[in-house]
Amino acid sequence: MKTFARLGTLFVGASAMLAASFAPRQTFDVPLASLDLGKMRVQPAGGRGGQTQTVAQANKSIDGNPIRIGGKEFTSGVGTRATSVLFVNLNGKAERFSAMVGADDNPMALPPNAAGQPQAPPPPTPIVFRVVGDGRVIHVSKPVARGDAAEPLDADVHGIKTLVLQVKPVDGSRPVAANWADAKFTVNGSADEAPVAIDIPIEPRTILTPKPGPAPRINGPSLTGVTPGHDVLYKIPATGSRPITYGATNLPSGLTLDPSTGVIRGTIASRGRYLVTFTAKNSAGAASKPFTFIAEGQLALTPAMGWNSWNAYGRAVSDSLARAAADAMISKGLIDHGWTYVNLDDGWERSARDTDPLHEGPVRADDGTILTNKKFPDMKALGDYMHSRGLKFGIYSGPGPTTCQRLEASWQHELQDFLTFAKWGVDYLKYDWCGYSSVLAPGETNQQLPVLKRPYQVGRAALNQVPRDIIYSLCQYGWGNVWEWGAEKGIEGNSWRTTGDITDTWESMAGIGFRQVGNSKYASPGHWNDPDMLVIGKVGWGPRLRDSHLTPNEQYVHITLWTLLASPLLLGNDLTQMDDFEVNLVTNDEVLAVHQDALGKPADRVSKKDELEVWARPLADGSLAVGLFNRDEMDMPVSVRWDELGLKGKQKVRDLWRQKDLGTFDGEFSSVVPRHGTVFLKVTPQ
Ligand code: GAL
């Protein structure tokens, strides 16, 4: 392959003589395809988190076919996929970057579906080609989709040192085959100054938040919802040097506090609102916090915080892994910041048809009681273990005959199963549609609202007969705009998944998170949008764990955005292996106070300028939590005007991740936000 096509002539005359000892300066073309394409980050075609990483192709489409755009074949160029990113060092020596860009004519082969059947090619999805240089957007193509003619692109890159070439879908995160056809740099310099593909610069794992001091501080929400007559368990989360002595004044009768652990247990007999004051004392000082028990039968008045086994262990979850997660939630100090639930996902049940000896066996006892598999010798003991340590316990089932892992689910055993769960001490139920599709009557589809609602109505009716407070978490991937009806009478979901399954890539996480525009109006205390569980830390969906593919800044975006969205925060990583960075990320009490804010009003988008977004959420104290987000590939300034936030005059601005006041600002605030990063602010009227 030809690397340099010489266009220009050598400089002549005095300068050439002067430069005799240097490589000669000339104008020449460098095809993009001649660069080290292994440096291009290409979104996998499918599958989970980079397991099928692919390499961009020189002079071929990503699938190895000739490059074809809008019926025209190109013999040179780079075949890649949206989303993909390439960083190029131009040395300031390139003049232009030009290409014919477009989606490949060949519909991308999708991996077989869960049942092993081939999938139909996806509909044409619009994508854009972006050129970004030294923190400035240089060119954004018009959106093009499969079948459209190639778009000419000719960008002035004069003086640019670092250039980014990016292809991305206009919406969502569906991968699309994309081509930079005839792509080349025109360089004016010496041959050794030609553009070079470089690694994506990844920032260090910087800890932003100062450690809590030795004096006690009481964290967590300012209220909790319970049902009169049902068991109450509330652990007062507090930081500060140990030992701490806890107190509570005006505790309603029926509740008792263990002063050495801060765990409150018992029942509240009558309906009402009970205002109490928590106290915490240690050798370094004392703290107090007003708190309200709202005994009106409404649960999850602030979104749940905890852990779920799925993104870490998948169906390899076991009793001992769940106990280890609980132990780590305590030993890593998460419990002191309000982390509470330890939830089993799929993988605790049996299947008569399973080939895995761990899951096989009769699925129910003679009386119909659901049985646990070999990894869970005693579920009641496991629930007791959680409760004895001040934690809560969650489980997973579904309204169909089987779960997503084809293990036993609760079809026609709803009440019986929920009563069993209550006996085990379950506090949280994730109820996953999956197998329900197999029991639809002829003519019924998952496009019909009454059909979509039915299993969750049956579930709610059963749950109402169970004498225990159990959070009801709907999981049906956002079908039928579940956010519009998940809270309605007769369903009363405490949360509902708004999307399909998340995975630990920027495309997946950011795609899901930033797509939640307009959903804030459907959530309220007790009823939350759930854009799926967290993918920071060590994840793996099975026995083998690895580090999340999210960069450090992407992990800050993940926690910031889910906090703003008032989504349930369910860690999906191996808690026992959390390092200081990860612990810091999930134990910033000012960030978590936004998540647990009593007003219960999630953020919505305030502005979007290309890849820069601002989201804001009103807080109970009259201030606003504001996230500045940079979804672009280079650090860029992001600004927000007070009038966009409905504010006037001077505002105090605090950096929540650094827990640092930034000063008083009139009219607007602006800050450089790192690539795929965030600045998270609290804005308070002066
Ligand atoms: C999926 C669900 C995941 C996980 C999995 C278990 O349907 O969305 O969150 O629960 O099932 O099989």
Ligand 1: residue whose CA is nearest its atom 12: 404
User: Looking at residue 408, what DSSP letter applies?
Assistant: B
- Ligand 1 nearest-atom number relative to CA 533: 9
How are beta strands 84-89 and 41-42 bridged, if at all?
antiparallel
DSSP assignment string, 581-650? HHHHHT--HHHHHHHT-TT----EEEEEETTEEEEEEE-TTS-EEEEEEE-SSS-EEEEEEGGGGT--SE
Same domain, 397 and 545: yes
Secondary structure E strands in 143-284: 151-156, 162-169, 176-189, 196-198, 217-218, 223-226, 231-235, 238-239, 245-249, 255-258, 263-267, 272-282
Pocket test for ligand 1, best of 315, 346, 532, 570 (most atoms within 8 A of CB): 346
CA of 346 to the centre of ligand 1 (A): 7
Active-site residue, selected from the candidate residues 501, 547, 604, 635:
501
Catalytic annotation on 597? no
Same domain, 426 and 386: yes
CA of 432 to the centre of ligand 1 (A): 7
The residues pairing with 89 across neighbouring beta strands, listed in sequence order, are 162, 196
Q: What is the CATH number of the domain that holds 285?
A: 2.60.40.10
Ligand 1: residue whose CA is nearest its atom 2: 501
Pocket test for ligand 1, best of 501, 502, 539 (most atoms within 8 A of CB): 501
Same domain, 568 and 521: yes
Question: Where is the domain boundary, 168, 198, 228?
Answer: 198
Backbone angles phi, psi at 537, to 5 degrees: 75, -155
CA of 457 to the centre of ligand 1 (A): 20
Q: How many domains does the chain fold into?
A: 4
Q: What is the model's pLDDT at position 8?
A: 38
Ligand 1: residue whose CA is nearest its atom 5: 404
DSSP assignment string, 626-637? EEEEE-SSS-EE
Exposed e or buried b per residue across 597-623, where buried means at least 16 C-beta atoms within 10 angstroms of its C-beta = bbebbbbbbbbeeebbbbbbbbbeeeb
Q: What is the distance of C-alpha 677 from the center of its chain?
A: 13
**How crowded is the C-beta side of 573, counted as CA atoms within 13 Å?**
25
- Ligand 1 nearest-atom number relative to CA 501: 8
Active-site residue, selected from the candidate residues 182, 354, 432, 589:
432
Q: Which amino acid is at 179?
A: N
CA distances from 337 to 99, 228, 411, 429 (A): 52, 26, 37, 23
| Distance between CA atoms of residues 63 and 196, nearest Å | 24
**How crowded is the C-beta side of 484, counted as CA atoms within 13 Å?**
6
Ligand 1: residue whose CA is nearest its atom 9: 501
Nearest CA among 212, 522, 529, 533 for reference residue 341: 533
Domain assignment present for residue 205? The answer is no
Same domain, 222 and 257: yes
How are beta strands 285-295 and 223-226 bridged, if at all?
parallel
Domain assignment present for residue 212? The answer is no
Range list of H helices, 88-227: none
CA of 546 to the centre of ligand 1 (A): 20
Say if residues 343 and 306 touch (Cβ distance below 8 Å): yes
CA of 398 to the centre of ligand 1 (A): 10
Same domain, 282 and 388: no
- Which residues approach ligand 1 with their CB closer than 6 A? 310, 345-346, 403-405, 432, 434, 475, 501
Say if residues 602 and 565 touch (Cβ distance below 8 Å): yes
- Ligand 1 nearest-atom number relative to CA 500: 8
The residues pairing with 130 across neighbouring beta strands, listed in sequence order, are 140, 166
Domain assignment present for residue 285? The answer is yes
CA of 500 to the centre of ligand 1 (A): 9
Pocket test for ligand 1, best of 317, 344, 345 (most atoms within 8 A of CB): 345
Q: Which amino acid is at 540?
A: G
Pocket test for ligand 1, best of 404, 438, 479 (most atoms within 8 A of CB): 404
Q: What is the model's pLDDT at position 46?
A: 60
Same domain, 621 and 569: no
Ligand 1: residue whose CA is nearest its atom 11: 404
Same domain, 384 and 261: no
- Ligand 1 nearest-atom number relative to CA 396: 10
Q: What is the CATH number of the domain that holds 386?
A: 3.20.20.70
Take residue 361 and report the two structure tokens written for it. Answer: 């066996």
10-residue mean pLDDT series, the chain (686 residues):
39 42 83 97 65 78 94 97 96 96 85 72 90 97 97 98 96 87 96 95 97 97 98 98 98 98 98 98 98 98 98 98 98 98 98 88 97 98 98 98 97 98 99 97 96 98 98 98 98 98 94 97 98 98 96 98 98 98 98 98 97 98 98 98 97 98 98 98 95
- Ligand 1 nearest-atom number relative to CA 430: 10
Same domain, 424 and 540: yes
Q: What is the CATH number of the domain that holds 34?
A: 2.60.120.1060
3-state DSSP assignment of residue 259: coil
- Ligand 1 nearest-atom number relative to CA 404: 12
Ligand 1: residue whose CA is nearest its atom 3: 501
CA of 307 to the centre of ligand 1 (A): 14
Domain assignment present for residue 529? The answer is yes
CA of 483 to the centre of ligand 1 (A): 18
Same domain, 634 and 566: no
Take residue 580 and report the two structure tokens written for it. Answer: 């200081």
| Distance between CA atoms of residues 149 and 210, nearest Å | 54
Domain assignment present for residue 204? The answer is no
Domain assignment present for residue 411? The answer is yes
Question: Where is the domain boundary, 167, 198, 229?
Answer: 198
Domain assignment present for residue 300? The answer is no
| Distance between CA atoms of residues 610 and 140, nearest Å | 9
Query: H or E stretch including 295?
Result: strand 285-295
Take residue 468 and report the two structure tokens written for it. Answer: 């225990």
Range of the domain at 59: 2-198
Nearest CA among 383, 253, 236, 409 for reference residue 322: 383
Which residue is associated with the tokens 């553009």?
Answer: 195
Same domain, 612 and 598: no
Same domain, 532 and 633: no
Catalytic annotation on 192? no
Q: What is the model's pLDDT at position 686?
A: 87
Same domain, 537 and 659: no
Q: What is the model's pLDDT at position 421?
A: 99
- Ligand 1 nearest-atom number relative to CA 345: 10
Pocket test for ligand 1, best of 113, 307, 310, 504 (most atoms within 8 A of CB): 310
Domain assignment present for residue 574? The answer is yes
Nearest CA among 548, 456, 434 for reference residue 502: 548
Question: Where is the domain boundary, 140, 164, 198?
Answer: 198
